[in-house]
Chain A
């Protein structure tokens, strides 16, 4: 009996809040944004948002920076984002994003998507803005295995912070 309990228990603690997206594997796409950030997966925003973000006038002032992409690369990005946007396919994780979006609004930031925002808003700001290894909500890969598309709650690892069963997150 004891043996069964010890074997079974580890299988209980897999992930609850699962959130996985397809990682970007195209090397040209992956290298396109790498100077400032990893390539955000298309699933996080709807088509309208990606069209706006990849507009050449918008890229001239991309969150305060000028982004220079060749026409072919910009078109390749647009094709990837339009094909995989949150409203392009009817999958479980896309629905979670899509159902939270306001229909009359074009979202420019993933961190402003209500579903994503809601999952982070209760956490201490010191974990993000004041954390020298995170600094920004847009720095997904600081805490998530973002490049692999893994955003599951159990896989979160906030730099300089520990999570315990009884006390939640605390600074190291």
Chain B
């Protein structure tokens, strides 16, 4: 919880802009997704060192939850709006929800063997979700 708060406060400090105190949460969501992907990558690469792997894994999970929360907050009007049919944003939110659930489950399951599969599901779905937006 403290980590999540620190994450949000850091972003609010870094990305509060001069637009008459307007805060673009859509941008926060984008930037936090870069950090999350970086942390997921670092978690995958640090499997040999348990301490570092745990740290990156925890940060990746917290960051993923923060990113999802920001995404829902910033794009709530689009995510829950199906008036124009099922669109790219709906795929993005669906797959990133799977990624978030999988990554949080990974943290809960760790260090059991099963957490690797959940971690892979989380990591892959996070990358797919990101790719849908960036394509």
Q: In the complex the two chains form, is B19's CB within 8 Å of A117's CB?
A: yes
Among A13, A16, A118, the one with the most B-chain Cβ atoms within 10 Å of its Cβ is: A16
**CA A118 – CA B131 in complex, angstroms?**
22
Is the pair A12, B24 in contact by a Cβ cutoff of 8 Å? no
Measured between beta carbons, the chain B residues less than 8 angstroms from A33 are none
User: Is A102's CB under 8 angstroms from B133's CB?
Assistant: no
How big is the A interface, by class? Answer: 20 to 34
Contact A18 B89, beta carbon cutoff 8 Å: yes
Residues B24 and A14 in contact, CB atoms below 8 Å apart: no
**Contact A16 B17, beta carbon cutoff 8 Å:** no
Q: Tell me the number of A-to-B contacts counted with CB atoms below 8 Å.
A: 56
User: Could you tell me the distance in whole angstroms from the C-beta of B76 to the nearest C-beta in chain A?
Assistant: 10
B78 within 8 A of A: yes
Binary interface profile of A, 95-124, with partner B (CB < 8 Å = 1, else 0)? 110001110010000000011011101100
Q: Decide: A165 and B87 in contact? CB cutoff 8 A.
A: no
- The answer, yes or no, to whether B2 is at the interface (CB within 8 Å) is no
A95-B77, A100-B22 are known contacts. Are A12 and B134 too (CB-CB below 8 A)? Answer: no
- Is A14 in contact with B22, judged by CB distance below 8 angstroms? no
- The DSSP consensus for interface residues of chain B is helix
Whether a CB of chain A sits under 8 angstroms from the CB of B49 is no
Chain A residues near B78: list those with CB within 8 A: 18, 92
Q: A14-B88, A15-B88 are in contact. Are A115 and B132 (CB under 8 A)?
A: no
Query: What are 27 A-to-B residue pairs whose CB atoms are below 8 Å?
Result: A12-B88, A12-B91, A12-B132, A12-B135, A13-B132, A14-B87, A14-B88, A15-B87, A16-B87, A16-B133, A18-B78, A95-B77, A96-B77, A100-B22, A100-B24, A102-B21, A102-B22, A105-B20, A114-B19, A114-B20, A118-B17, A118-B19, A119-B24, A122-B27, A154-B88, A165-B134, A165-B135
A interface residues (Cβ-Cβ under 8 A, vs B): 12-18, 92, 95-96, 100-102, 105, 114-115, 117-119, 121-122, 154, 165
Q: Which 8 A-B pairs have the closest CB atoms?
A: A114-B19, A114-B22, A102-B20, A118-B24, A14-B88, A100-B22, A13-B135, A16-B88
